[in-house]
Amino acid sequence: MSQTVDRKMVRSWSGELNAVSERIAPRFARSEVRDRAHDYLRGLLSGTERKNSWQLAEVAGDATPYGLQHLLGRANWDADLVRDDLRDYAIEHLGADEGVLIVDETGFIKKGDKSVGVKRQYTGTAGKTENCQVGVFVAYASRRGQAFIDRELYLPEEWAEDKERREQAGVPEEIGMRTKPQLAKEMLRRALEAGVEAAWVVADSVYGDSRRLGMFLEEHEQPYVLALSGKAYVWAGFQQHRVGEVLEALRQGEPVSEEGFKRLSVGEGSKGPRLYDWLRLPLNPPIQEGFERWLLVRRSIEDPDELTAYTVFCVEGTTLEKLAKVAGSRWRVEIGFEEAKGEVGLSHYEVRSWRGWYRHITLALLAHAFLTVIRAKGMDIEASLEKGALATEEDTDSLLAFKIKRGLSSN
């Protein structure tokens, strides 16, 4: 590839970023704040290793970080309106018939007790209890890629009831204690009301165990595959069945289904097809015509005692193969978190306030969506940088050098 073509790639990349900045420009009344938002996005996409205010200011050519700190703090703009732009941008470029909405959470490990919502709590990020904040997210995934379209900060009860801490962190008065499934429901409601069309909603057992979330989706005739813990109950016949007891019966080899397990692939992994054994058991039908409910069970091939259950609401006639693939699509959100934290500094923020958290997270998710979109468009900028063709371009401090240094894949 010639240097001329490579330079066109960078200009095209820069043009895409300018288009994103122009898209959100109406959300900022003052031109200085609009420029700062563009600088912030560009800094998040830069090769600087830590995306804190000092290093982002250096990328922007500022002597101090005060301008960017003002953007996240006192400047006048609404992060929720930018979130709406983010959602529309992601769906516009990634929307597909088989698109899936994925609900999941991630932790942000913090020191001290001043950051809004921080406490010692379990986070899958570390796989243990840590002093951290927890955010709940909704991602949209299709064959074109995955991007986040909404976010909410989980506010533990001790924070919700502490007036002094709320005031110091700037938590709005109307915000009370909301469970993670409640936050998920709010975000899914926003997506559906905004016209987002998804073939499925998927989530882990934190959300699947909440029957109210399932009922909400059924009311909207939105198919779902939600994981369940062993503590959950499902209705079959005239009684409830504890999921853990059903799984134990399967471990003991009791004949609970005429179909039996079927070995299926849920997609390609790094070591080939991701194979599991799958089984589904009928549950009481919903009131919605043309739909059915199932208890879906996944069994590990390596360890047959390792069983995972899902509650399913789907169109009549949906195959077991389809349900297995949908259940297996939840890993896409993990890729999204890895990309957003590793490439655009989703977890690198230093803000402590409610407003600052939402502003940084929203802009970081927009930067991540931008990367997903340019990949979907086939802009292989990493390859051109490897050739050294962009060394004199102004934009070479974008994600390119950072990704090459880290060995991050563009797939």
Average pLDDT, the chain: 89
- The CA distances from residue 205 to 213, 235, 342, in Å, are 11, 17, 26
pLDDT for residue 257? 66
pLDDT for residue 126? 81
pTM: 0.89
Q: Is 294 helix (H, G, I), strand (E, B) or coil?
A: strand
pLDDT digits (tens, 9 = 90+) for 161-172: 999 999 999 999
**Can you say whether residue 253 is alpha, beta or left, with left for phi > 0 and alpha for psi between -120 and 50 degrees?**
left
pLDDT for residue 390? 27
pLDDT digits (tens, 9 = 90+) for 9-55: 555 778 889 999 999 999 999 999 999 999 999 999 998 888 888 89
pLDDT digits (tens, 9 = 90+) for 229-276: 999 999 999 999 999 999 999 998 876 666 789 999 887 776 778 899
Residues 271-295 have a mean pLDDT of: 94
- The CA distances from residue 271 to 174, 274, 326, 396, in Å, are 49, 8, 20, 34
Residues 201-218 have a mean pLDDT of: 97
Question: Is 409 a residue whose pLDDT tops 80?
Answer: no
Residues 382-403 have a mean pLDDT of: 35
Beta bridge partners of 128: 123
pLDDT for residue 382? 44
Residues 56-89 as b or e (16 or more Cβ within 10 Å = b): bbebbebeebebbbebbeebebebeebbbbbbeb
Distance CA 122, CA 126 (A): 8
pLDDT above 70: percentage of residues in the chain? 88
* Position 291 confidence tier, pLDDT thresholds 50, 70, 90: very high
Distance CA 111, CA 350 (A): 11
Count CB atoms within 10 A of the CB of residue 227: 21
pLDDT digits (tens, 9 = 90+) for 110-160: 999 999 999 999 988 788 999 999 999 999 999 999 999 999 999 999 999
* Position 288 confidence tier, pLDDT thresholds 50, 70, 90: very high
11-15 long-range contacts, Cβ below 8 Å, gap at least 24?
12/379, 13/374, 13/379, 13/381, 13/395, 13/398, 14/395
- Angle 106-351-23 from CA coordinates, rounded to 5°: 80
Question: Is 408 a residue whose pLDDT tops 80?
Answer: no
pLDDT for residue 83? 98
Question: Is 98 a residue whose pLDDT tops 90?
Answer: yes
Residue 398 corresponds to which amino acid?
S
Residues 327-340 have a mean pLDDT of: 96
Count CB atoms within 10 A of the CB of residue 252: 8
pLDDT for residue 270? 67
Question: Is 401 a residue whose pLDDT tops 50?
Answer: no
Distance CA 276, CA 209 (A): 23
pLDDT for residue 78? 98
